[in-house]
Amino acid sequence: MKKATAKSLRAFAIELAIYAVFVTAYFFLVLHLLGEWLYHLEAQHRYTYAVVALLLIAGQAVVLDAVTALLFRFLRSRVR
């Protein structure tokens, strides 16, 4: 039981490290590529901005969830 918990924790720590690298790269990509465009959109086209904001956050949720689930599955199979 303790061994299984230790393995899960190890897998989780590795996942967290890989995820952190992905997220850091993603941060800068999104902030640099979309920052300026979103700023102007918010100032000039509020309704479009509202729709884009919802699509961005929902899209990011689905993609990141898929990435974390994939990472978890991959790492657990490797740890076993």
Partner 1 sequence: MFFPISNTHIDPIYLAVVGFLIGILGGFFGVGGSFIAGPALRLMGMDWNYAVGTDLAHIVGKSIVAARQHRTLGNVDLKLGFFMAFGTIGGAECGAQLIQVLKRAGNVNTVVSWVAIVVYFSIAVFMLWESQKTLRSGKERLPSKHLKDDHSAFGPVTQKIQRLRIWPMISLPTSGIQEISLWTILLVAFVGGFFSGFLGGGAGYIRMPSMVYVLGIPTHLAVGTDLFEIVISASYGTFTHAVKGNVDILIALVMHTGAVIGAQIGVVATQYFAGPKIRLAFVPLPLLGAAIVVYTLVTGHKL
Q: Which residues bind partner 1 (CB under 8 A)?
A: 15-16, 19, 23, 26-27, 30-31, 34-35, 38-39, 42, 46-47, 49-54, 56-58, 60-62, 64-65, 68, 72
User: Taking the complex as a whole, how short is the minimal distance between the CB of residue 23 and partner 1, in angstroms?
Assistant: 5
DSSP string, 1-69: -HHHHHHHHHHHHHHHHHHHHHHHHHHHHHHHHHHHHHHHHHHH-HHHHHHHHHHHHHHHHHHHHHHHH
Question: Whole-number minimum distance, CB 12 to partner 1, in Å?
Answer: 8
Least separation in angstroms between residue 24's CB and partner 1 is 9
